[in-house]
Structure formats: structure tokens, C-alpha cells
Structure 1
Amino acid sequence: MESPQNSVARTPSNSAIVQRRSKSKSYRQSYRSCLGAASRLGLTPGLTARRLNSSRRALKSQVITEKVNPEHLAILVKAEWQLSYVTPLYQFRHTQLKSYSRQLSAFIAAEKQQGLAVEVEGSQSSFRVSFSVVQGMAETDDDAETVLIQIFSKPMFAKQDEPQRSVWSGWLTCINGNPDYLHSLPKGFTCLPLFGSSGAEVLTSLVKSWFQQTFDCCFGCLEINQTSLQWLAALWTNCHTESSLKHLKMIWTIPVVPPLQVTYTVDPQDAWELWMSVRMDQLDKSEEEEEEQARNIDIEEVTRFMQGLKSHFYRHFRLDLSAGNLQQVSTALGSAKFSGKIKISSSRYIITTLALLTECALLKMPI
């Protein structure tokens, strides 16, 4: 069922309706005008710094079921999502989600009729699409509300009264988006840069194709690079006293012939003690500075934490993980892979985790 809150969803003010000058006006042309506006504001040509922030707030536990629909949260935390970045959407309106549901359903049906969409897990030809707003996720007035997309269908040999089941899910979000970037966008553009999908790849391709044709946007692969994986390892470890890690598991690939894959699992208490030893070195300041520092984590701390883990591994196995590449990090709170797959297992940390991934998506966008 579509959320009854759709009609009151907020689209940021910079998305006011404007008249498109010509049907051939492309996103790239509009984006260049955006760059020009950014230059006048004194921003860098890329609008955002071309690297991750060197300091960020520690993950904090939030009971967000009071402001976010628990059914929506259950969908967001139950699956592993393949991430992509999305350029700003032209003329997207949160108040038009029912119309978008009908349009995307018709688009999938038309593509399937032309033989461009294959059967999905034995589903019959009819698909129903639902767009809904996940209200309560936005952290600032500049963030557009998260949008959840679900595609439903019936198995081929289902009974007539059997309900349709979800065969694909996806969402677009912007959590704590870079304000300079968001303010520099021309009117008519809505920024939801982080896209997650779970389900058949053929449906993912159709959804992306419809968005590109309808909102003049572009999608691209979003890997979670080593720096971001290290950030997640540190941020999740920092939550250990509130929510037990159960384990800190890392997978590294070593560039030898044949390639070597190393799985490194750390006892959660050992990881916590190492992390606290790194933190205590940073907290040796005045009381006021210490209180502020306790709320922030710096990249230097992340680097020292990872170096401590690698040094411990080297002492035992005489293998330098610095020569390899970090491919995956997982704890009881979630898992992340270099390939761009993410699973957030606890809704208490979903906001701050998605804020980091939103930053990654904005940095990956083409200029």
C-alpha cells in the first residue's frame, strides 16, 4: 500500500517548478550552469571537496521508530543493497508519487511486452509498483525526504486470491547532504544522490532507465573505497558498548600470484580495547576540548586503529596487510563491501551510516 503521507511530503525549496526551455535541454547542460553558479559562490569547481571529510561525528544510537514508519525501517534493514549514485532529478515531486507508481508500472509492462524484460523468479506478466515517502529520515531542511520503491508480482502458478509479493525494492536518499552543493543546484532539481536496490538486476535496469528518461538524470556504480570501509570499521567499533559488535570481520585481497584472500576476524573486546587506546591518546586535552573531541572522530584515529590491527596481524602471521586491499568489513551492526553492497543490521545507526554513504555518492558524481 502506498503511504498516505505522500501528499504532505516535503521537497526542498530549490525544487520549485520552472519551465523547461526546450525538450532537448539535458542534465549535463543544467549541471554546467550549476557549476557556474558554484563558481560565483566561491566554491571549488567540483562543488564538494573531492575527498571524504577528515572528521565526523561518532555514530550515535537513535530510537528512530518514533519518527520513521517501522514497516519502512524493516525493509531498509532486512536486505543487502547494491549502491549507485544518482545525479539530481529534474522536476521530481514528492507529491506526485502515486502518478510515478502508475507510470513506472506501465513502463515495465511496455518493456516486457516488447520482450525487453524477462521473467522474474517465475512471476507472471503483471507488476505493481509502489512509491512511498520514508518520512523522518531527513536530518536538515536541505535534505529531500527518502523515497522507497517496491515492485510487487505474483508467482506464475499462484492461487487467484493469493496476494502479490515484493520482488524488488529500492530507495533514494540524501542524509546530511553537502549544503554548498545543494544550495548551488538550479531550481527544479531535487538531490537524492544515494540509490540502493535489492532484487532482480533486470528490474533494477528498468527502474534506472525510467528514472533517466523521466527526470533527466544519470546513474553510476558506487564502490565503497578503502577509506570509507576503514571509517565504517572504526565507527561501528565505537558503538561496541551500546550494541555489541559480536565480531569485527575484515576481508583483504593480497596482489600475489595466485591472488590471496585473507579473512581477519577480531574479538570484539580486543577491537574495543585497541580503539579506546587510540581514542585516549586523542582525548588528552582540556575538559572542554575533551568533551567536544569525544563527539568527533578524526581520520588520524581511524588510520591508527587500522594500523594497530594490521600490526597485530603481522606479528602473528608475518603478512603485511598494507600491501593488499580491504574488500569487506562486517560486524553485527552491518556489513559493507568494496563492490558497493551494504547491509545495515540495526536501525539505531542507519541515519549516520547513510550520511557517510551520501557523502560518498556526492563525491562520486561526474563534474
Structure 2
Amino acid sequence: MFKIVSGFVRYNTTIRMERQHSSVVRTPLDSVKVQRRSKSRSYRQSYRSCLGAASRLGSTPAFTARRLNTSRKAPKLHNITEKVNAEQLALLMKSEWKLSYVTPLYQFRHTQLKSYSRQLSAFIAAEKQQGLAVEVEGSQNSFRVSFSAVQGMAGTDDDAETVLIQIHSKSIFARQDEHQRLIWSGWLTCINGNPDYLRSLPKDFICLPLFGSSGSEVLTSSVQSWFQQNFDCCFGPLEISHTSLQWLVALWTNCHTESNIQHLKMIWSIPVVPPLQITYTVNPQDAWDLWNSVRKSPQEEKETEEEEGRSIDIEEVMQFMQGLKSHFYRHFRLDLSAGSLKQVSTALGSAKYNGRIKISNSKYMITTLTLLTEGALLKMPI
């Protein structure tokens, strides 16, 4: 039995029926561009790089066969504003990021970031001349790329420093004294990565498995192509799984007493015809009371608390989610267990199944990125 707080009657639930799409699929406007790129030498080289990276890392333990951790430390306040550059931190929190995973980078050096800036800028300019990146900004005259290290975010000594990439450009019609504007940004990071995996890598490989991008998909593709050609790595889409979203529901709710989450909003997808989408918003105090009711008692955690600090187990997460679903079922006779969680948001941030993340509170950025780093490491094919 799961305890449901009586005050739980305060909720806001929206149920929306969505019609199924027609079976006719419209051809994307950029399909010609995609076909042209697939025939290019850079694409073939990138594909060979993927195979080459796999062969070079053949002795690496197969951590990708593991599942997400079943226990993790409860979120702690990290005042990274004292460690991380304010402008870099503001940029990381400003945008919604599209996530990808990245295999280890071969011979990537943090000491060569200025050189990488020039090389990537020249690469994008060359692609634009070839017509491959012209869709990005048809009236742009030049691109300026900057690589920078984001110091102060590494969780352990095994983590490589986060790398921030920014692309600026100026229109050919802009005044001479007008500044270039930011048209794309991205970052690569590793926060509290699996130490056994990181230490098993050959010394020439740097692991920054989590890649976030914000801006034109064409520029994102260009940046990824450049990395693949120069550092023998592969990129792939990183969805935020149903289990990871449930972890975020619990982790963010656990932060309520220190940083008011303001709301707990979940979007569920139910596989019926026509498709059913449910928006389920819970009062933050009610969510906290329910979460507090399923947490282990201090006596149960006494054995591990001294060594590791209070932790959160997957059983507690599942009980919390079951409590939320049971409450919903009592009111609407609809079992959310039949569907899947697609989106979760609080005042701390939002996360979507399609791999989009928005971090709104820097104090718990490390907690969120730790979970996402774990997911990226497990998704990697090597």
C-alpha cells in the first residue's frame, strides 16, 4: 500500500485526444541536401572513423550492456556560480539543448582549443561554399567559431573539463561596427562518469560522452562531421528514457525543501486509437509529501549513510511514481502504467523523451548532468 496525502486533491490535469496522422508522409525539404552529403568523402570518412574507433577501443569493457544505476546519491546543492564563469553558466542555462551521445575523442587536446576554433571555422566556410551549409544563414558573410573550457564543473578527477563551442556570424548587410551575433552553441561534457570505464580508455582518448546543441540542425551536422573527421568519434541521438525521466521526477522533487520546484508537470502518452496525451500537474507540496512518505526511514539507511550519505533507490522512485499514478486512477479511472512518460518539468528544468533538456537552476545542474552522462555512456555502441 502506498500512502497518498489527503491534500492531493489539488491538481490540474489536461487530457487531449490527438488524431492519427495520415499514412502519406511529406518529403522533407532538405532531403536533397542529405542525399548529397551522404555521397561526400567526409561522410564516408566519418563512417570509417566510427569503425576505426570501435576497433581501437576493442579492449574497453562493455559498459554499454549495463543498465542505469539502481541507486544514486540524493541531490546536493552545488554552488557552481563560485567556480564556473558567469557568462558560460548563463549560456548553459539560457537554451533548451538537443542531446546526443559521443564516443571517445581520439587525440583531442584541451590545450589546442584555439586551433580547433580556426579549423572548425574554415570547415564551415568550406561547406558553405560547396552549398552544404548555405541553408544555415543565406545572407551570412563569415563565421567565427570559439572553443572554450568550462572549468569548475568536473565532478571527479577522472572527468575531462567541459568544452563550450560558440558560432557567431554577421550579415553581409550589417554595418561595419555591428557585432557578430551568436547563431549556434554547443557543449561536450562528462560529469561523474563511470570511473572504471574512464580509466580503461587508452591514454590518447578523451571521454566527453554528452553533447548538447542549440541552433540550426545544419550547423549541428557540420560540427559533428568536423569532430568525426578529426577525432575518430561517432555521434548518435540520445533520448531520455522513460526510466531516466522517472528518476528526474524523483530527484527534482527531492530538492523541493531547499529550492521550491513550484510545480511538477508530467506529460504521458497512452497508446490508444486515436493517441491520448495527458498533462498531469501536481501541487509541489503534495508531491513533496508523497515523496517523503515513500522515502526509507533513517533506520533502514543507517548502514550506508555513514559511508555514502543518504541515497535514493529505484524502489523509492517506483513507489513514488506508483503513488502518482494511483491517485490519477482513482479520479479518472485511467491507468497511466499503460502508457509512457514523455516529459517532465519543474522550476529546476524540463526534460523530454526526444532528448531535449532545459536546465533552469544551476544549483542542481550537476545532479541532472550526472544522470544524463550515465545515459550517454550506456547508449554508446562501443
Q: Is the 8 A contact 2:266 2:345 kept in 1?
A: yes
| Residue 176 of structure 2 is aligned to residue 153 of structure 1 | no
Structural mapping, 1:269-348, within 5 Å? 269-279=285-295, 281-285=296-300, 295-348=310-363
| Residue 147 of structure 2 is aligned to residue 124 of structure 1 | no
Q: Is the 8 A contact 1:48 1:178 kept in 2?
A: no
Q: Hey, what does 2:39 align to over in structure 1?
A: none
Q: Is the 8 A contact 1:170 1:196 kept in 2?
A: yes
Give 1:154 shift. 1.7
Q: Hey, what does 1:170 align to over in structure 2?
A: 186
Equivalent of residue 261 in structure 1, options 269, 277, 283: 277
Separation in structure 2 between the aligned mates of residue 147 and residue 78 of structure 1, nearest angstrom: 17
Partner SS for 2:141: coil
Separation in structure 1 between the aligned mates of residue 222 and residue 52 of structure 2, nearest angstrom: 25
> How many residues end up aligned between the 2 structures?
336
Give 1:119 shift. 4.1
| Residue 106 of structure 2 is aligned to residue 83 of structure 1 | no
| Residue 212 of structure 2 is aligned to residue 196 of structure 1 | yes
Q: Is the 8 A contact 1:112 1:125 kept in 2?
A: no
Amino acid at match of 1:83: L
Partner SS for 2:334: coil
Partner SS for 2:266: strand
Q: Hey, what does 2:239 align to over in structure 1?
A: 223
Equivalent of residue 72 in structure 2, options 52, 56, 59: 56
**TM-score scaled to structure 2, two decimals?**
0.84
| Residue 21 of structure 2 is aligned to residue 28 of structure 1 | no
Q: Which runs of 5+ in 1 are unaligned?
A: 1-23, 39-45
Closer, same or farther in 2 for the Cα pair 1:286/1:345, shift >3 Å? Answer: closer
User: Percent identity of the aligned residues?
Assistant: 76
Q: Hey, what does 2:368 align to over in structure 1?
A: 353
Separation in structure 2 between the aligned mates of residue 144 and residue 353 of structure 1, nearest angstrom: 17
Q: Is the 8 A contact 1:284 1:290 kept in 2?
A: no
Amino acid at match of 2:315: E
Partner SS for 1:207: helix
Q: Is the 8 A contact 1:124 1:154 kept in 2?
A: yes
Closer, same or farther in 2 for the Cα pair 1:25/1:253, shift >3 Å? Answer: closer
Offset from partner CA, 1:147-186 (integer Å, 9 cap, x none): 0000001245322211011100000000111111111112
Closer, same or farther in 2 for the Cα pair 1:286/1:162, shift >3 Å? Answer: closer
Q: Is the 8 A contact 1:252 1:321 kept in 2?
A: yes
Q: Is the 8 A contact 2:151 2:162 kept in 1?
A: yes
Greater relative contact order structure (CA < 8 Å, 6+ sep): 2
Closer, same or farther in 2 for the Cα pair 1:352/1:111, shift >3 Å? Answer: same
After TM superposition, the structure 1 stretch with the greater mean CA deviation from structure 2, 111-120 or 131-140, is 111-120
Give 1:349 shift. 0.7
Give 1:285 shift. 3.1
Alpha-carbon RMSD across the aligned residues, in angstroms, is 1.8
Q: Is the 8 A contact 1:131 1:149 kept in 2?
A: yes
Q: Is the 8 A contact 1:147 1:173 kept in 2?
A: yes
Separation in structure 1 between the aligned mates of residue 370 and residue 170 of structure 2, nearest angstrom: 35
Give 1:289 shift. 5.0
Give 1:322 shift. 0.4
